[in-house]
Amino acid sequence: MKAISLYEPWASLMAIGAKRNETRGSRTHHRGDIAIHAAKTDTGFNDELAAVTVSAFRTRGFDFKLNFGCIVAVVDLWDVSPSERFAYQGVDTLLNQIPLTSEERIFGNYAPGRFIYQTRNLRRLKTPVPCRGLQCVGWRMPADVEAQVRAQL
């Protein structure tokens, strides 16, 4: 199974369903299941993002906990589109029916030149699986890690 590494808190926000879109500076041709890996590196985040992140956890009934260096979920990456194809329509939606809540706007970078990775079918792992990640999109997990992930799906 392929994986994508995200810094925290973004990986855990995807794992709890608060973030469905990943925004990147490049596209990927991968479609289908992809594991969400929480990178080991802590990039830090500002007070506003911290407050919204903690709120996202609490309103969904989760204790605030970040999981560095672990696979935390599996999603279906079903579409990748350049951000220029979309324009804000009202408060909550990009054209072409991309749901964009106020949280989602804070948790992504929808600036021109970016790509929107749309996901669905979230499967959060009950127990995060330790794994070393890579910076590229669509890297392969080691066989033993994949077996542990699949056992939880």
Q: What share of the chain is helix, strand, coil (3-state, %, to 5)?
A: 25, 35, 40
CA separation for the pair 71, 15 (Å, rounded): 10
CB 68 within 8 A of CB 9: no
SS3 150: helix
Q: What is the CATH number of the domain that holds 74?
A: 2.30.130.30
pLDDT (0 to 100) of residue 132:
95
For the chain (length 153 residues), average pLDDT per consecutive 10?
96 96 94 97 82 95 95 97 66 56 83 91 98 93 97 97
CA separation for the pair 14, 77 (Å, rounded): 12
**Statement: the pTM of the whole predicted model exceeds 0.85:** yes
Q: What domain count does the chain have?
A: 1
Distance of CA 104 to the CA centre of its chain: 11
| Containing structural domain, residue 138 | 2-151
